[in-house]
Amino acid sequence: MTKIFVIYTGGTIGMITEPATGVLKPFNFEQIIEHVPELRRMDYELTVHSFNPIIDSSDMTPEIWAFLAKLIEDNYEEHDGFLILHGSDTMAFTASALSFMLDGLSKPVIFTGSQLPISEVRTDAKENFITALEIASAKLEDGRARVPEVCIYFENKLYRANRTFKYNSAKFEAFRSPNYPVLVEAGVHIKYNDAAILKHDRAKLRVHTSVSNNIGVLKLYPGISPEIVDAVLNSDAEAIIMESFGTGNTSTAPWFLDRLRKAIENGKIILDISQCKAGSVEMGRYATSSELKTMGVINGYDMTFEAAVTKLMYLLGRKYPKDRLLRRLSTPIRGEFTKI
Ligand code: ASP
């Protein structure tokens, strides 16, 4: 029998509308299972860990990411796969963070949730839950897991976690991964895109739970003032994610470039990702980004904001010497970006 470890953290999937107020409130895992009688007909042995209290994912923290990673480590050997029920709002952050924290993963860790509570007639929760379980238990002919990576399953599609972002709060199709192909598509048949799925890592699982939140974000817009740029660049943050335009371009105004240069000289790490949801940073393609390359801004290629945040937190938490950190930041370590 396939053994799946289920972690129920909360989110809409397990909420019920309180009749008096109309507010969505969480209920417990046993009540979830009652709404999925199909589970009794499936050949899985489920071990369940339910958060107490269960939380809306807006209350997620790096400490809880570490707790999840540790829970997976403690139950790793005895289980074939892991399913994490999580609110969709910050699912892409938690799932991206775990993709970095779980080093040498060889079993599936699949996040899912839903847009409508499992108790509602038109819920998307049941299909998400059941198909995610099925994918978490899928094996290759040699008995190893078919999807040995951290993923998000939502509305018929399995995505690499660290390539996703929540793009829609109203549609059942809540997530997108424009820069990386869908790993599995579920219709009448469950179709695996094996070529896109990470290959098995020969290393053993090593879990790194210390992360640092000492990062900042500089989102650019035409007209941004020197005061706002200073507020971010002169903060204590060790690393700053700069959300730039198009293929990684910024203003060429001397006051702006001088400030960036100075921040880097003072030891700040500046990672350039684009405000575009699809496509990649191409430093040096336009004059507006060639100067960035020269001064030592790091190319974030086609990384999502979620992956950039969690990768930096993870790398800073590893306490690498600066040159090693910069090398790891510039190299895909869990398939989180594609170099062009
Ligand atoms: N607010 C909910 C959460 O993220 C939304 C959801 O589950 O989809 O916990």
Residues 65-121: pLDDT tens digits?
999 999 999 999 999 999 999 999 999 999 999 999 999 999 999 999 999 988 889
User: For position 224, what pLDDT does the model report?
Assistant: 98
Name the residue ranges covered by the structural domains of the chain. Answer: 2-207, 215-329
Selecting among 2, 9, 12, 310, the annotated active-site residue is 12
Amino acid code (one letter) for 313? M
Does residue 28 surpass a pLDDT of 80? no
User: Catalytic site residue 123?
Assistant: no
Q: Which two tokens stand for residue 211?
A: 């992360």
With a 6 Å cutoff on the Cβ, whether 88 touches ligand 1 is yes
Least confident of 11-25, 50-64, 155-169, 265-279: 11-25
Q: Do domains 2-207 and 215-329 have the same CATH topology?
A: yes
Residues 6 or more apart whose Cβ sits within 8 Å of residue 132: 83, 110, 112, 153, 158
pLDDT of 284 above 90: no
Distance 113 CA to ligand 1 centre (A): 8
Give 34's contacts (C-beta < 8 A, 6+ positions apart): none
Homologous superfamily assigned to 2-207: L-asparaginase, N-terminal domain (3.40.50.1170)
Distance 91 CA to ligand 1 centre (A): 8
Which string of b and e fits 211-229 if b means at least 16 CB within 10 Å?
bbeebbebebeeebeeeeb
Count of alpha carbons within 13 angstroms of residue 182, beta-carbon side: 15
Indicate the CATH number for domain 215-329.
3.40.50.40
pTM of the shown model? 0.96
Predicted confidence band of residue 201 (pLDDT cuts 50, 70, 90):
confident
What's the gap in Å between 264 CA and the centre of ligand 1? 38
Closest CA to 107 of 141, 143, 145, 69: 145
Is residue 26 lining ligand 1, measured as CB closer than 6 Å?
A: no
